[in-house]
A and B are shown apart, each in its own frame.
Chain A
Amino acid sequence: MPIKINHLSYTYMKKTPNEVKALDDVSLEIPDKKITAIIGHTGSGKSTLIQTLNGLLTPTEGTVEVGDFVITNNPKKNKKIKELRKHISIVFQFPEYQLFDETVEKDVAFGPKNYGFKEEEALKKAHEALAKVGIDESFYKRSPFELSGGEKRRVAIAGIIAIDPDILILDEPTAGLDPHGSNIILNLISELNKSGKTIIIVTHDMNIVMNYSDHVIVLSDGKLAFEGVSSDLFNGDVSNYSIEIPKLFQFCKLLEEKGAKIEISKIRTIDDLFNQLKERK
């Protein structure tokens, strides 16, 4: 399901002295079955944007189209929101704070049960989802609260995978995790994408953007500042966006300046770089 956003604006506490315009006339497209990264400084409108995608927030102006669903500023027309949320789900920042049930399997089965699956089917879906995030049977009956931070987060993500949405939105999925925990989550995201899911990641980590994203959206003060591929972003002027250019990208530029013939837009990892250098020889 491709996503199309047309002239979207969102204002918090409209018509009060505390009015804040979080999104200002944003138009963009999020490609189907790709990994899109949304970046921008704190307060740039990232969280507001992702909450409009599944109807948690309704636009002040403009529309959001997700496949055939259209979300407008008229709440009466937005009747299919519950249906829409089966197709597009958000994993919020620090999702482990939202775990609540007695056991891991019950927690993950909550979503499918909520969408009408019977207990047994819901548990089956929960077990499948847990397998995908690398949580094995020995965890099923344990309390989610006695797990480590990284395990909790994987369980929380399994809760969303169990609903089997077409589009997954992850807000800072690796924040606060150690490098090992981060890699597990990132590999999982990559696998989900390969199995046909559209992925949207909100992140401050430009290494993730370089290594994983197909498409990048930059927001700045509620406006669309950039839309395209990461290499074009890093090549341009990023001084206003609170972005740290990845060291790998900087190194590729350095090689290019010294005359190496490499195609930076196709390089995501150190291995990619050296493979290109090898082919060139």
Chain B
Amino acid sequence: MKNVVIKNLNYSYNENTPVLKNINLEINQGEYVSIVGQNGCGKSTLCKLIIGLLEKDSGEIIVNGLSLNKDSIQEIRKKVAIVFQNPDNQFIGATVEDDIAFSLENNNIPREKMITLVKEYATKVGMEDFLTKEPSYLSGGQKQRVAIADALVRNPEILILDEATSMLDPAGKQEILSLVNKMKLENPNLTIISITHDIEEAYLGDRIVLLNEGEIVLTCRPDELFKNSELINQYNLSVPFIVQLQKKCQELGYQINDEDTLEKIGEMICQSK
């Protein structure tokens, strides 16, 4: 089933600055799609359009079979949850449990059920020992885990991660990536749209969508992009170390294959005298 269908979508902040140009994209239920591209290429704008935080100029956005408009927006927002970049900007409650409960309060969930759900989702994200803690006592990674609990407790069909790890330290980032992985295993039908600059992170998805200046340049399997250092350079994506090394070796005349591991390249360098 198609979870998100975007047809001929256009959006601009004003007449002179088109942000998204004729976007066509289909995302299947249960698919994990990474959206990559430079700052200002329209990644975040695209996500904001999908949940109706911004209004499109033209084209159509269909989420779960519903075309996005004024009448369907509330229904669609129940299906889509988003986790933003800055952990401090999305902590609303005074404590972890309040924060998770806030999501449910908006949806008229009875108190008894709410208490069970808050505990259940806090446990899912590994924050069950912090229920009564205030945000100032939490690390960035912990706050983002709470933000993911806030998102998932509403049982969405689609989870959008808008650079959700970019303000975290390596440990915090790892926490989030393994959590997302776990969520995916527990609920294979959950569709994930992840916006990221980190090529190693984008590599975790089923598919990569590369945006440049508001247009989709390419959608492909991550390893296909990963191997294409030309595209990576052209669109200013970060280049994985192995690709940099292979390129350097090729320039210097070593016989390098795409599959060669660091070990193999190392041996080749040491043997050539």
Partner of A178, one of B38, B169, B248, B267: B38
Contact B141 A42 (CB under 8 A): yes
Per the 8 Å Cβ criterion, residues 170-197 of A in contact with B are: 175-181
Task: Name which of B59-67, B97-105, B238-246 contacts chain A.
Answer: B238-246
CA separation between A138 and B248, bound complex, in Å? Answer: 38
What residue of chain B has the Cβ atom nearest to residue A257's Cβ?
B266
The answer to whether B229 has its CB under 8 Å from any CB of chain A is no
Contact A175 B245 (CB under 8 A): no
The answer to whether A228 has its CB under 8 Å from any CB of chain B is no
Contact A254 B244 (CB under 8 A): no
| Inter-chain residue pair count (beta carbon < 8 A) | 78
Interface residues on B, range: 35 or more
Q: Which DSSP category, helix, strand, loop or mixed, fits chain B's interface?
A: loop
Give the residues in chain A near B168, CB-CB below 8 Å: 42
Contact B262 A149 (CB under 8 A): no
Contact B263 A254 (CB under 8 A): yes
Contact A242/B170 with A179-B236, A180-B38 known, Cβ cut-off 8 Å? yes
The answer to whether A131 has its CB under 8 Å from any CB of chain B is no
Minimal beta-carbon separation of A62 from chain B (angstroms)? 25
What residue of chain A has the Cβ atom nearest to residue B86's Cβ?
A94
Contact A244 B270 (CB under 8 A): no
Contact B236 A180 (CB under 8 A): yes
CA separation between A41 and B236, bound complex, in Å? Answer: 28
Contact A248 B241 (CB under 8 A): yes
CA separation between A10 and B248, bound complex, in Å? Answer: 47
The answer to whether A75 has its CB under 8 Å from any CB of chain B is no
Give the residues in chain B near A247, CB-CB below 8 Å: 241-242, 262
Contact A178 B236 (CB under 8 A): yes
Give the residues in chain A near B38, CB-CB below 8 Å: 178, 180-181
The answer to whether B252 has its CB under 8 Å from any CB of chain A is yes
Contact A258/B236 with A175-B167, A247-B241 known, Cβ cut-off 8 Å? no
Contact A148 B270 (CB under 8 A): no
Partner of B237, one of A41, A179, A274: A179
CA separation between A259 and B38, bound complex, in Å? Answer: 40
Minimal beta-carbon separation of A47 from chain B (angstroms)? 12
CA separation between A27 and B246, bound complex, in Å? Answer: 43
Contact A258/B266 with A149-B40, A180-B38, A180-B236 known, Cβ cut-off 8 Å? yes
Partner of B170, one of A243, A255, A259: A243
CA separation between A271 and B252, bound complex, in Å? Answer: 11
Contact B241 A41 (CB under 8 A): no
Per the 8 Å Cβ criterion, residues 226-250 of A in contact with B are: 242-244, 246-248, 250
Contact A255 B270 (CB under 8 A): yes
Give the residues in chain B near A248, CB-CB below 8 Å: 241
Partner of A148, one of B39, B140, B262, B269: B39
Contact B169 A242 (CB under 8 A): yes
Contact A177/B39 with A42-B139, A242-B171, A274-B252 known, Cβ cut-off 8 Å? yes
Minimal beta-carbon separation of A249 from chain B (angstroms)? 10
Partner of A176, one of B85, B238, B267: B85
Give the residues in chain B near A244, CB-CB below 8 Å: 170
CA separation between A41 and B197, bound complex, in Å? Answer: 21
The answer to whether A56 has its CB under 8 Å from any CB of chain B is no
The answer to whether B163 has its CB under 8 Å from any CB of chain A is yes
Interface string of A73-95 (1 = CB under 8 A from B): 00000000000000000000010
Beyond the given A246-B241, A258-B266, could you list 19 further A-B residue pairs with CB under 8 A, ordered by the A residue number? Answer: A42-B140, A42-B171, A42-B172, A43-B139, A148-B39, A149-B40, A175-B166, A178-B37, A178-B236, A179-B237, A179-B239, A181-B39, A243-B170, A244-B170, A247-B242, A254-B266, A270-B244, A270-B245, A277-B269
Binding site for B on A (CB under 8 A): 41-43, 94, 148-150, 175-181, 204, 242-244, 246-248, 250-251, 254-255, 258-260, 270-271, 274, 277, 281
